[in-house]
Amino acid sequence: MTILGVDPGSRITGYGLIVWEDGRAQALDFGCIRAREKASLCERLSEIYRAFREVLERSRPDYAAVEDIFYQENVRSAFQIGHARGVILLALAQAGLRVEEYAPAEVKRSVVGSGSASKGQVQFMVQHLLGLSEPPEPYDASDALAVALCLAHRIGAGR
């Protein structure tokens, strides 16, 4: 089965597609959708939506997981990330996918064993678990792969 993980952002959205078979994961595709920095929020959301729809059409995943919003002191940033999550969730719903949502600490715990792991530790473990020759970059992509692995582990454990 194929699983798409997403790390939403209002400027950079990471995605990671893995295949999960017999308790083993393999990376199929990963990368980032980059919205123009100088564009308005509405324009960035439209760019993210269109590019993410292309990722969905190309990858056709069986399952999807999206990282939930984490606590931020900057309320404006949290709202902008929430808007980006909204367009991602819309695209996934339009594709007919059931979506699981995981808090960042839950993703870290699933991949590293600690909910307070650093982005570098997550990246290292994602590289190790997927047998990649190089660390997946940038962090947005490695975080998205970690989200996909989190769902794979839940499926493997019977949720």
CA end-to-end distance (rounded Å), the chain: 15
Residue 10 structural domain: 2-156
Residues 45, 84 contacting (CB under 8 angstroms): yes
Q: What is the reported pLDDT for 75?
A: 85
Q: What is the reported pLDDT for 78?
A: 86
Q: Residue 73 CB: number of other CB atoms within 10 A?
A: 6
CATH number at residue 79: 3.30.420.10
Q: What is the reported pLDDT for 157?
A: 63
Q: What is the reported pLDDT for 76?
A: 86
Active site annotation includes 67: yes
Q: What is the reported pLDDT for 156?
A: 82
How far apart (Å, rounded) are the C-alpha atoms in residues 28 and 11? 24
Q: How many domains does the chain have?
A: 1
Which one from 47, 68, 100, 140 is the annotated catalytic residue? 140
CA angle (7 as vertex; 118, 104 as ends), nearest 5: 45
pTM of the model: 0.95
Q: What is the reported pLDDT for 95?
A: 98
Q: Which residues contact 3 (CB under 8 A, 6 or more apart)?
A: 17, 18, 19, 20, 61, 62, 63, 64, 65, 148, 151, 152, 155
Active site annotation includes 140: yes
Task: Provide the strand spans (E) within 35-159.
Answer: 63-67, 99-102
How far apart (Å, rounded) are the C-alpha atoms in residues 5 and 99? 10
- Within the chain, which residues score under 50 in pLDDT? none
Active site annotation includes 137: no
Question: Reading across the β-sheet that carries 12-21, which strands appear in turn?
Answer: 24-34, 12-21, 2-7, 63-67, 99-102
Which one from 67, 68, 100, 143 is the annotated catalytic residue? 67
Q: What is the reported pLDDT for 133?
A: 98
Q: What is the reported pLDDT for 26?
A: 98
